[in-house]
Amino acid sequence: MKLTKYVYILPLTAALSLTGLLLSGFSASCAGPETEPSPTYSCIEVPKSISFCGIDIDLTRYDRRERMDRELMAFTYMHSTSLQIIKRANRYFPIIEPILKEQGVPDDFKYLMVIESNVNPLARSGAGAAGLWQFMSGTARDFDLEVNHHVDERYDVEKSTVAACKYLKQAYRKFGNWETVAASYNAGQGRISQQQDRQYVDNALDLYLVEETSRYVYRILAAKMLLTNPKQFGFYLRSSDLYPPIPYRTIKVTEDIDDLARFAKGQGINFSLLKSMNPWLRGTSLPNHSGKEYLIRIPDQTEMHYNPRVTLPHNPAWVVE
């Protein structure tokens, strides 16, 4: 079952990125130190191997090396997207990492989330996949997420991460290795199993697949390299450039809310902020005939402003200070 439609770099986007590179040089930063070199062209060296979920993946075979090289170049020259990924990761990795650990899923799967949504919880594909983990509505319901006109838990960071973990663990029980699990998130478990039987191989990295899926795991590995060491890609940020977590209080709701804008005003905020903190609220009201408990987040009035707040980096490697 395919979870998401894959869209990555359009030819026009690539052309614009390359044009910008030629005009302004390689290094892309919010605060690049003057001592850093700014060559007009550079390539990230493809490592001989890279660890994924505790397994070293050999990248010396020509097909694997060239696929990895392609994804590293994409992250290097897609400047604005790569910078946004690093900024957003500072807000969402601290939420996602403990859930992966609690659910028994390798931490490296946060990089799968990165390439699915560019760490944008409001992401929605042309095919209708939504949220950080890009669930289709039917798959989301299969993994216990509520999806309707008023509530869409694909946009709930914590609940969608738990659902993704359920899918990943189910796939691991089927395939027995995490690389193939990752590929199945893109292509679906049925398609991967079918191709394994037809091609007589166990690991998805050895399968001949459509381009979208054949690139998928290498994009995850490239995202890991980007977020492990952005400086080798030419990205330099200050702590204050990163998006900080927003402190909030939680209200438990078990009854209907007829007017969410009025509800927000009663909490001292506006409708826009309510939706920003609770993107799973999809309408202007919250019917609740079953008495289900919903947790609504209200941002802290004094802590939602950037100044004079100092943002701490989730990963010190992300900043230049």
Contact 56, 47 (CB under 8 A): no
User: What is the model's pLDDT at position 213?
Assistant: 94
Give me the chain's average pLDDT, please: 87
CATH of domain 11-241: 1.10.530.10
Tens digits of per-residue pLDDT, 246-279? 899 999 999 999 999 999 999 999 999 999 999 9
- Residue 230: pLDDT band with limits 50, 70, 90: very high
Helix 110-117 to helix 178-187 angle (10° resolution) is 20
- pLDDT score of 279: 96
Q: How does pLDDT run across 274-293, given as a tens digit for each residue?
A: 999 999 999 999 999 888 99
Which region among 3-17, 100-114, 140-154, 155-169 has the lowest average model confidence (pLDDT)? Answer: 3-17
Distances (CA, A) of 168 to 20, 22, 104, 181: 38, 41, 10, 6
- Pick from 38-47, 189-198, 243-252 the range whose average pLDDT is largest: 189-198
Q: How far apart are CA 169 and CA 84, in angstroms?
A: 29
Rounded to an integer, what distance in angstroms lies between the CA atom of residue 85 and that of residue 8? 14
pLDDT band at 311 (very low <50, low <70, confident <90, very high): confident
What does the alpha-carbon distance between residue 150 and residue 152 come to, in Å, rounded to a whole number? 7
**What pLDDT is attached to residue 15?**
40
> Quick check: 105 pLDDT over 50?
yes
Higher pLDDT, 7 or 79: 79
Higher pLDDT, 217 or 12: 217
The residue that leads in pLDDT, 60 or 38, is 60
Domain range list for the chain: 11-241, 248-299
What sign for the dihedral angle of Cα 39, 42, 48, 52? Answer: positive
**How sure is the predictor about 301, in pLDDT bands with cuts at 50, 70 and 90?**
confident
- Check whether 216 has a pLDDT greater than 60: yes
Of 57-61, 62-66, 88-92, 303-307, minimum mean pLDDT range: 303-307
Predicted confidence at residue 76, as pLDDT, reads: 80
Mean pLDDT of 143-164: 97
In the chain, what percentage of residues exceed pLDDT 70?
85
Average pLDDT over residues 237-251: 91
Q: Are 234 and 42 a contacting pair, CB within 8 Å?
A: yes
Q: What's the pLDDT tens digit per position in 108-133? A: 999 999 999 999 999 999 999 999 99
- pLDDT for the residue 62: 77
Q: Please tell me the predicted confidence (pLDDT) of residue 23.
A: 35
Average pLDDT value for residue range 93-113: 98
Instruction: Give the separation between CA 257 and CA 285, rounded to whole angstroms.
Output: 6
pLDDT in tens, 166-180: 999 999 999 999 999
The mean pLDDT of 181-199, rounded to a whole number, is: 97
